[in-house]
Amino acid sequence: MRLPHSRAMMTVLIVTIAAWVIVLALGNGERLSFLAGFIPVRVSGVVVPGALPVWLTPLTATLLHSGAIHLGFNMLMLGYCGRFVEYALGAKGAVIVYVIGAYAAAALQYLADPASVIPMVGASGAISALVGAYALLFSQRKGKAVTHRYGHWLHVLWLAAGWIFVQLLVGLASAPSGVSIAIAAHIGGFVAGLLLARPLLLWRYRRA
pLDDT digit string (tens) for 121-174?
Answer: 989 999 999 999 998 888 765 544 444 555 666 666 767 676 676 666 655 555
How is the chain split into domains, by residue range?
Answer: 8-204
Q: What mean pLDDT comes out for the span 183-187?
A: 88
CB 83 within 8 A of CB 75: no
Query: Top-level CATH class of 8-204?
Result: mainly alpha
Query: Is the model more confident about 7 or about 140?
Result: 7
Q: Helix, strand, coil: what percent of the chain each, to 5?
A: 75, 0, 25
Residue 3: band (very low, low, confident or very high) from pLDDT cuts 50, 70, 90: confident
Note the pTM of the prediction, 2 decimals.
0.87
Report how far apart, in Å, the C-alpha atoms of 37 and of each of 19, 21, 95, 119, 197 are: 13, 17, 20, 5, 27
3-state SS class at 38: strand
